[in-house]
Chain A
Amino acid sequence: MSKVSLEINGKKISKEIPDHTTLSIFLRDILNLTGTHVGCDTSQCGACVVHVDGKSIKSCTALAADLDGSKITTIEGLTTNGKMHPMQEAFKKLHGLQCGFCTPGMVMSAIDLLKNKKNPSDTEIRDWLEGNICRCTGYQNIVAAVKEAASKM
């Protein structure tokens, strides 16, 4: 067991957890933050992407103990006073989702892209979303949504 202290969506949290607890399990099973999804569980699909100290990572492939002291933002942490983040708004408006399974990861990954590149091209968006797999949309509307969000952010 290890004691882990993290700041999650602005809230400080300390817990005693088994050493092999991944961040995805910590979020979903211990904190009940089930907005972060787990698809492949082996770092291929990107459904579990969250931000750690401002950078996107796959939470299924990081030990919570390894991230002790970090600041974490999950999909639940994007809304302010009940208002959706511009990226969420754009996904909703342009149908950037169907079943919604990949969406939390897509949104978190896309926000990280816009931190580094304010107005990405289609190719840059597709390149960046390399690690996020969507089984439903065919990606077209996801790319459109990221562009729309870029114009609003």
Chain B
Amino acid sequence: MSALTLSNVTKTFGTTEVITGVDLDVEPGEFCVFVGPSGCGKSTLLRMIAGLEDVTSGDVKIDDRRVNDVAPAKREIAMVFQSYALYPHLTVRDNMGLALKQAGTSRADITAATDKASAMLGLDPLIDRRPSELSGGQRQRVAIGRAIVRRPKLFLFDEPLSNLDAALRVATRIEIARLHRELGATMIYVTHDQVEAMTLADKIVVLRAGRVEQVGPPMELYNDPANTFVAGFIGSPQMNFLKSGPLGLSSAQMGIRPEHLEISTEAGQIAGKISHVEKLGGETLVYVLTEDHGLLTVRLFGEHDYQVDAPVWLTPDAARAFHFDEHGQRLRPGESSAAGRATP
């Protein structure tokens, strides 16, 4: 049994195909994150699951029931939007209770449900206010409360943290993770921020231009990316991509994470000069301009002093390198003899 199944789902607006055949299985209780750059179709896919957008072809199943032609309100889902989308004319309590009221739940049950959700999210002091009297963070908590009250089979989040400032974003992120543990509900979460994806997900779905690039747990995507896109998207700062030719490799490209590049002022494999240094306290990021590979990032732990324009040498840790073919697909050791690690 699965909480959500997408089989070969596509979506076309006019003549442009926005989603090109997505297959996906989400287990009950799983936290699944759709991640990808802006405009890749994450929201469209989520809105198709919610029933707000028709499916051009393919099947959407929630709890093994085909819901292609079921109205959003009847799919037993709840959605939290980036813009909060609270009803401006209703109080916090009525915002949270509206769905139950529409479904014909008794007054006492509605009050019990809203009370419970508001206690869970610390909304009690705000319960009689209107949305215009709340801060951004409070509004988003009310929106989450509105979703909880419905006890849905599926929670859908569309970039719920994008409008919050950095500190609130972290706090709300932790709150959502806690809710997921407490409710044990299935959640689908859309974001363009790979940090949110890494920290929240049981399973990440990386999307590009309406296509699934890779599906897997966060660490699997980090340690075993299927192609250059996933490798570059997951992990911050971004992975460095080096041309294989100057390194004497037979693959087309080599990827190396910034922490796996060794920097030296005396000798190494790749010559370059420092173009910029960022000191973050706990770590230092050094940007090195090289002739063959362009700008490379090196991540060092602790504080380090480097002069801009000073010549340096970089050496990639061969054991930690990823190899890709000319189409950007990963070459795994043993899969192809062309992936030979001809490192000296």
State whether these chains interact.
Answer: no
Residues of B bordering A, CB below 8 Å:
none
Interface residue ranges, A against B (CB under 8 Å): none
